[in-house]
Structure 1
Amino acid sequence: METEDDEEGAGDKRMDLLELQYYFEQAGAGISKNEMFCTSAALYNLGQREIIKKYRFWGKIFGLEKNYIIAEVELTEEETTQRIELGEEGEEGEEEGEEEEEKIKLKPAPKIPRPPKSMYKKPPDVPPEKIGEGTNQKVYFVCNRPGEEWIELPNVTPQQITTARQIRRYFTGNLDTEMFTYPPFPGKEINYLRAQIARISAGTQISPLGFYNFGEDEEEEVEEEEGEERIPVPNAAFEPVPLRDLLDPSMSFWVHHGRHILKQGRTKWWNPKQKSEDEEEAEEEEEEEEVEPEVGPPMFTPLSEDAALETMPAWSVRIGSQIVKDTAIAFVRSNLWPGAFAFAAGRKSDNIYLGWGHKYVAHNYSPPGMESIQTEYPLGPEIMEIEDPSVEQEEAWRLAREKKKARPEEEEEEEEEGEEEEDED
C-alpha cells in the first residue's frame, strides 16, 4: 500500500505526454497519438529506475535509417554524488597510468643523432564539466522505437561540442557509427548525438517570463557564493502572462532558462592559464599575459536580445486558434534550430524538439580550411637555398682571401723592424 508521500513523489516524477500532445496539436506540431501513447508507456518504464528523480520527453531526432526518441532525466542526489566520486577516481587512475607510461618510454639514447624537437606546444585540453553541472547537468536516454531498451548517452566534453559546431552530418540511427569528418570528431555517433542535444537544449529551452526562478533563496545571497551553480526551478507563485504579451513580436515576455554554451564548449569559463601550486612556484618570475574570461548572457535573458538571422527573426510566435481566442495558446517556433517548439497556456509551458538536429545556415555549408603547415626547422642561412656563385665571383673571393693571408705576414715584418729600432735607441 502506497503512502501519501509515495504518491506525491510518483506524481512529481511522472509526465503526462498525452496532455502535452493535446497542446502541441493545436499548433500543428508533435507526433501521432499512437506513437505518443507508446512513448509515454516507455517513459513510464524508464522512470521506474531508482536512480531517476524526474524525467521528461525531450523530443525526437530523425535519422537516415532509424530515428532517436530522447528522454531527459534528472538523477537523484545520491546517484549524482556517487558518479562524481567514481569519475574522480578514474581520473586519478589515468594520471598514474600516464606516469608509468613515461617511465617505460625512458630508454637510453640511440647512437644515431636525434631529430630536431618540435617547437609546437599543444594547448591544454579544456576539462569537461562535472555531472550535474553545466552541459552535463541532465542525463539523456535514447531508443529507436518505443518499447526498445533505453540506452544512456555518455557525458559530453568541450572538444565534442566545439567540433560539432564545425561539421554537419546526418544521423544514421545507429549509435556505434564511426564519424569520418573534418575536423575529426572525437567519438562516434553516440557522442555526436549527445553534443547536438546539449547545443539544442542551450539555445531553445525557453519559457514565459517568471515561469522559472532560483527557488526561495534571495538572489543576492546566492550570488555571494562563488563556484555554486544556480539551477532554475518552477516558480510556485507564477502568474500567467497575458496572451497579448506572449504574442508580442518583440519576444520580450519569453526568456531562456537554459545555460548558454561558451566558445570553450562549457557553460562556465575555464582559465587555461591556471596552474598547480608546484608550477606556480617554478614560474613565479615569468610574467604571462592575463586571459580575459569569456562571459555569456545571464540566465533568463529575453528572446528579444537574440541575434536576428539574415532574412528572418530568430523566433516566430503565433496563436493556436484564431476562432476561440479565450482558450487559445501561444506557440513559439525557433528559426535558428528548425524543429524546436514551445507553448504557453495559462500556468503550463513546455518545450519539444522534432527535427534533424541541425542548425539553420543561410548559405551552403563549407568545411573549415586546412591548418597552416608548421615549419620543420627554424629558418636560417644554414638551411636556406642560395644561388651558386659564378666563375668571376669565385675568382674575386679567392683573391680577397689571398690578400687576407698576406696581410698578417706584412704586419709581423713591420713589428720586427720597429723592435730593432727601439733596441738601437
Structure 2
Amino acid sequence: MLNEHTRTKINNRKKQIFFFFLAFLFYGFCRDWGEHKRNGETKQGKRRRQTKRKMSVRPLVEDVEEMFGRTKAYLMNANKDGVSVYDQLTRLMEQLLDENPHDIAADPSRFNEIFTLLQQSSFVNGQSTPACNEPCSVPPFELARLADNERLFDRPPPETLTTIEQPDPYTTVTTTRIKPHTAPPYDSVAQHNLYWAWAGCGVTEEEAFLLDRSITMLAMEKKLRDVRFFGKIFGTKADYYVVSSQRYVQDGEKVYKEVNTMPRPARRKLEVPVQPEPGFVGVNRLSFWVTSHPAAEWKLLPDVTPQQILAGRRIKRLFTGDLNAAVIASPPFEWNEAVYLRVQLSRIASGTYISPMGALEEPEEEVDDEEEAEDDEGDAAKKPREAKYRPLTQPVKGFASEEDSDVTQWAKLDQWVHSEGYIYANGRQTKVPEKQEDEEEEEAEELQQQQQQEEEEEEEEEEEEEEERELFTPINLDFLYAVIKIPEPPKVDEEDEEEEEEDDDPAEDAADAEKDFDDMPPKPVTDADVPDDDPTKVKIAAWTVRVVNNNSKKHRVVVVRSLRWPGAVAFAAEGGKKWGCVYFGNGLNKTDFSFTPTLAPPVLPECGDITEVDDPTPATEKLVRRGEDPPEPDSEDEVEEEEEEAEGDM
C-alpha cells in the first residue's frame, strides 16, 4: 500500500511525462505543417519528408529540453481575457488522470465531449472554474458564515510585559517578557454534548466545536473565570447562546460592599423600592454573555435590579433575538429585551442549577485584616470598602473518586440539591443589611417608635417576613403546583332538601355560607405542610429522574429534568465524576392551561369635593407635636381659653 505522498509524486511524474510527450508531438506537428505549406501536397514533397525523417538522428537531451521550453512558452501565450492553451490542456489532464469521470481509456469517443464541456465552463472572467455547468450548491449566506468562522481559528496576539528596574542611579535594566494568552479551564461543550444527547437535547457536533473555540477566545480576551456554557434560548427570529462567568469588572469599575441606603418612607403605609444587589453578591454575582452565532461578537448583559425581576415575573413573552427590541406586554415592561433576558436567566439559574448531593460545599468565611482594623476604629468615619469575589460554592475534593461507584445512586430526587441562591419575593437573593445610624438618630427613632406603638396595635398585622431558604435544599421538596384539592360531591339528605325548599331565604343562605367559610381549616402555607397520606390533596413533583444507556454499569447516565422550567436538564455520568446542568428552551416557565394574565390595576377614584376646615390653633399643634390627641372643643369660649394659654406659655 502506497501512502498519499508517494501516490501524489507518481501522479505528478505522469503529468510531466504526458506534457513532455504532448509538447514533443505538438512541436513535430507544427514543423511538419510548416513544411507541408512550403512544399505543397506533392509526391516529391512526401518522399523528401520521409527521407529526411530516416536521415534524422536522435536529438540530444539539451535540445529536447530547449524544445520543450519553447513549446511550453508558446502554449502559455494568453489572450486579453487571460485564456491560454496550456491552462486548458492542464485542466484536461487533471480531468483524465485524477477524476476520469467517463473512463476515456475504455471509450475514447467521449474525449471530444469532455473537451467541449471544459471550454464552455472554464475561464469565466479570466478565472479558472471547475469543469461543471451547475452553479455552486452552497448558498451565499452560508459561504459568508464559513468565512466568519475563520476568525475563530486566529490565535490572539501575546501579551507583552515590560519591567524597568534601576539598581543604582547610573544603571537602568529593562526586561521585556512575552506572555501568550492561556485559556482558563472549563467544561468542554463538545464533551458534555455527548451526555446532553442521551438526555434528548444538545447541539450539533459542528456547533459544539465552534462554541468551544468561541468561548475559549472570549475567556482569553476578557480574562474570565468560572466559565460555563449556560445553554441556548430559542427566539422567533434568532437564538441566543448563553455563557455565564464570574462577575466581570470593566476597566475603571470598582465594586464596593453593600450599605443600606434605603430612605425611610414618608408615611408608614408607603413602600420604599428595594435597593439592588451590588456586584459579587446575589443575582449580580454572575455575568452573562450572549451571542446569536459562535462567530459573532459576545455581548455582556447588564446587571439586574429587584424591580426588573418583579416586573419580569408578571409577564410572559417570547424572545425575538434582538437585544434592543422593545418588550411589549401587559403589565408594561419598561426596559428592552436585553434586560428581560437577564431577568429570565437569573430566574432559571436560581431554580434549575442543581448538583448531586455531596458534590459541592460552602467555602469557609474569611475575615480580612482591613475589616478587623476598621471595626476597631469605632466612631471613626467609615469609608466605602471594596468588595472581593467569594464563590458561593466550591467542589468537594475526592467526590465520586471510587472506581466501583455506581451512578444509579443519584437516580433519586432526594440525592440532588439546589446549588444556587433562592430569589425571594422582593427580587433579591440576600437580605438588605441593617442601616448604621448615629446615636442621636437612634434616640430620635426610639421616641418616634414609642409614639407610634399605640397606632401599630390598632392597625392590621403586618405581613410575616419570608423564611430564609438554605442553600443545599433537596429538590424532592419542590412541587410544580400549589396544593390541589380534589373536589368531593356534597352529601345531600332528603330531609335537608325539604327544609331548603320551605326556608328559601337568601339572607340566611349568605349567613350560613359565611359561617361555613369561617369553619374551614386554613390552607397550608407550603406544600410541605400537607401530609403525603392525605387522599383529598395531591402534590406534583417539579422534577423527573431516569437512567438512560443502562446497558453497562460504566456507561449509565442519570438524567434529571425540570417540569417548572421546561428545557432545564441535569446529568451525572461516569460514576459521578462527570455532572452538569444546561438549559435549552424558550426562557419561559411552566404555564397551566387555565393561565390568566395579570389583570390591569383598578381605575383610580375621582377626586372628591373640596372640604373647608378651620386651621388648627397653636394649642392643637402643640398637642399634636407631643403625640397627644387634641380635645374636641364644646364651645367657642373654650377655644379662646386654649389660645390664651398657648400665648402665655410662649
Common fold by TM > 0.5: yes
Identify which of 426, 439, 459 aligns with 1:264. 426
Report the secondary structure of 2:358's partner residue.
coil
Deviation per CA, 1:243-295: give whole Å up to 9, x if none. Answer: 332112xx110001011000000001237x96865865654422266875423
* AA of the residue aligned to 1:49: E
2:408 is aligned to: 244
Identify which of 585, 602, 612 aligns with 1:372. 602
| TM-score, normalised by the number of residues in structure 1 | 0.70
Give the superposition deviation at 1:53.
2.0
Q: Does 1:317 align with 2:541?
A: no
Identify which of 415, 419, 427 aligns with 1:253. 415
CA contact (8 A) 1:158 1:265 kept: yes
Change (3 A) 1:11 1:320: farther
Give the superposition deviation at 1:81.
9.7
CA contact (8 A) 2:406 2:553 kept: no
CA contact (8 A) 2:291 2:299 kept: yes
Deviation per CA, 1:12-41: give whole Å up to 9, x if none. Answer: 534311111111122222111111111111
1:18 is aligned to: 190
Q: Does 1:201 align with 2:349?
A: yes
Taking the aligned partners of 2:252 and 2:572, their CA distance within structure 1 comes to 35
Identify which of 273, 284, 295 aligns with 1:125. 273
1:416 is aligned to: none
Report the secondary structure of 2:231's partner residue.
strand
Mind listing any 5+ residue stretches in structure 1 that lack a counterpart?
Answer: 96-117, 220-224, 384-425
Give the superposition deviation at 1:186.
3.3
Change (3 A) 1:379 1:303: farther
Identify which of 147, 154, 157 aligns with 2:295. 147
2:570 is aligned to: 342
Give the superposition deviation at 1:137.
0.6
Deviation per CA, 1:374-412: give whole Å up to 9, x if none. Answer: 4455689879xxxxxxxxxxxxxxxxxxxxxxxxxxxxx
Change (3 A) 1:270 1:75: closer
CA contact (8 A) 2:183 2:217 kept: no
Task: Note the 1:295-306 alignment, pairs <5 A.
Answer: 295-306=467-478
Report the secondary structure of 2:206's partner residue.
helix
Identify which of 184, 208, 211 aligns with 2:332. 184
Give the superposition deviation at 1:325.
3.8
Identify which of 39, 43, 46 aligns with 2:215. 43
CA contact (8 A) 1:166 1:183 kept: yes
Taking the aligned partners of 2:314 and 2:391, their CA distance within structure 1 comes to 30
Report the secondary structure of 1:244's partner residue.
helix
1:67 is aligned to: 239
Give the superposition deviation at 1:83.
3.4
Change (3 A) 1:322 1:81: farther
Give the superposition deviation at 1:82.
3.8
2:309 is aligned to: 161
Deviation per CA, 1:73-105: give whole Å up to 9, x if none. Answer: 1147x76994315x99xx99xx9xxxxxxxxxx
2:164 is aligned to: none
Change (3 A) 1:81 1:339: farther
| TM-score, normalised by the number of residues in structure 2 | 0.47
Report the secondary structure of 1:49's partner residue.
helix
Greater share of helix: 2
Mind listing any 5+ residue stretches in structure 2 that lack a counterpart?
Answer: 1-157, 160-177, 367-371, 373-386, 457-461, 485-538, 614-650
* AA of the residue aligned to 2:580: D
Change (3 A) 1:154 1:218: closer
* AA of the residue aligned to 1:191: V
Give the superposition deviation at 1:136.
0.5
Report the secondary structure of 2:211's partner residue.
helix
Change (3 A) 1:80 1:126: farther
Deviation per CA, 1:15-73: give whole Å up to 9, x if none. Answer: 31111111112222211111111111111111112441231110000000000010101
CA contact (8 A) 2:276 2:304 kept: yes
Task: Note the 1:208-219 alignment, pairs <5 A.
Answer: 208-215=356-363, 217=364
Taking the aligned partners of 1:364 and 1:145, their CA distance within structure 2 comes to 37
CA contact (8 A) 2:183 2:219 kept: no
Report the secondary structure of 2:226's partner residue.
strand
Q: CA RMSD in A?
A: 3.7
Deviation per CA, 1:334-373: give whole Å up to 9, x if none. Answer: 0110000010112121110000000002234322223234
CA contact (8 A) 1:269 1:293 kept: no
1:285 is aligned to: 447
CA contact (8 A) 2:569 2:581 kept: yes
* AA of the residue aligned to 1:236: K
Taking the aligned partners of 2:365 and 2:610, their CA distance within structure 1 comes to 64
* AA of the residue aligned to 1:231: L
CA contact (8 A) 1:164 1:196 kept: yes
Change (3 A) 1:371 1:286: farther
Bigger Cα displacement from structure 2, 287-296 vs 40-49:
287-296
Taking the aligned partners of 2:558 and 2:183, their CA distance within structure 1 comes to 26
Q: Does 1:362 align with 2:533?
A: no
2:120 is aligned to: none
CA contact (8 A) 1:58 1:352 kept: yes
Change (3 A) 1:270 1:378: farther
Taking the aligned partners of 2:550 and 2:472, their CA distance within structure 1 comes to 29
Report the secondary structure of 1:337's partner residue.
coil
- Residue identity over aligned pairs, in percent, reads 31
2:393 is aligned to: 232
CA contact (8 A) 1:164 1:192 kept: yes
Taking the aligned partners of 2:608 and 2:337, their CA distance within structure 1 comes to 41
Change (3 A) 1:233 1:79: farther
* AA of the residue aligned to 1:253: Q
More RCO (CA 8 Å, sep 6+): 1
Report the secondary structure of 2:254's partner residue.
helix
Report the secondary structure of 1:341's partner residue.
strand
Taking the aligned partners of 1:286 and 1:328, their CA distance within structure 2 comes to 66
CA contact (8 A) 1:80 1:132 kept: no
1:333 is aligned to: 561
* AA of the residue aligned to 1:152: L
